[in-house]
Amino acid sequence: MSDRRPIIAGNWKMTVNHLEAILLVQKLAASLNEQQLTDVEVVVVPPFTALRSVQTAIDGDKLLIGLGAQDLSPHDKGAYTGDISGSMLAKLNCSYVLAGHSERRQYHHEDDVLVNAKVRAAFRNGLTPILCVGEGLEVRDADGHVGHCTEQVIAGLEGLTAEQVKKVVVAYEPVWAIGTGKTATPDDAQEVCGAIRSCIAEAYGKEVAEAVRIQYGGSVKAANIASIMAQPDIDGALVGGASLDAEEFASIARFR
């Protein structure tokens, strides 16, 4: 058993307006309170427009639920219409921010260089990046998944200090498992998460690699979380669809 504190994050994507988000986080807080979590970090990742409302709702309960954003600009300020900076997110008490989610990579053509710039922007502004990596089906079928994901991780961490790397959360999310109902088997997920930890150890040393938390994401549910969390290199989950059901998400957070 490692010292790494498990982190279960719910990515609400573009599914709720701010009123629906308030309702969802209130239900979640009630469900979590009932379930007596033991040393698990629970984070919600609402759309930008709901961050303020959710922050206000969880303000007094910060220890129970943390706040994250789904994306950030690589720039800190300026003429970037439509973008949201890391400092704006920090001002809203966000602690986490996703960088390089596969939907951003796919629909907004974000490459590893941009994702790395976002990871660095997160650190400049006191946010912890959740660096998302994962392979598409063609890459997996061609048996290139391990190399693909480790390359994405090393590119995403470029230019960080060892102390910063220790704080990064990496989310391994095979693209073919996101929102499809297909979950990687626990062994498949462990294969890639173990390789990610090894490549970080090679680049930054074992102590750094042992500190990094690695999540699995892709059709995680209450029914499959326990076997995923039983893997030695998996320290949490990034949950999409199932995080929109407060009770289900609370059960995922109580995975033991």
Would you say 196 and 233 are in contact if contact means Cβ atoms under 8 Å apart?
yes
Would you say 101 and 170 are in contact if contact means Cβ atoms under 8 Å apart?
no
Q: Is 179 annotated as ligand-binding?
A: yes
Choose one: 55-63, 112-120, 147-155, 171-179; the region binding ligand PEP (CB under 6 A): 171-179
Asked if 100 touches ligand PEP (CB under 6 A), the answer is no
**Interface residue with ligand PEP, options 41, 110, 135, 173 (CB under 6 A):** 173
101: annotated active-site residue: yes
The angle subtended at Cα 77 by Cα 127 and Cα 157, nearest 5°, is 40
Minimum distance between the CB of residue 179 and ligand PEP, rounded to whole angstroms? 4
Give the active site residue among 110, 173, 191, 248: 173
Asked if 239 touches ligand PEP (CB under 6 A), the answer is yes
Asked if 178 touches ligand PEP (CB under 6 A), the answer is yes
Choose one: 119-127, 138-146, 151-159, 214-222; the region binding ligand PEP (CB under 6 A): 214-222
Minimum distance between the CB of residue 72 and ligand PEP, rounded to whole angstroms? 16
Asked if 217 touches ligand PEP (CB under 6 A), the answer is yes
**Interface residue with ligand PEP, options 218, 245, 250, 254 (CB under 6 A):** 218
Asked if 116 touches ligand PEP (CB under 6 A), the answer is no
Minimum distance between the CB of residue 149 and ligand PEP, rounded to whole angstroms? 15
Calpha distance 247→20 (Å, rounded):
15
Q: Which residues are catalytically annotated? A: 101, 173
Q: Which residues are annotated as a binding site for substrate?
A: 11-13, 179, 219, 240-241
* Interaction site with ligand PEP (CB under 6 A): 11, 173, 178-179, 217-220, 238-242
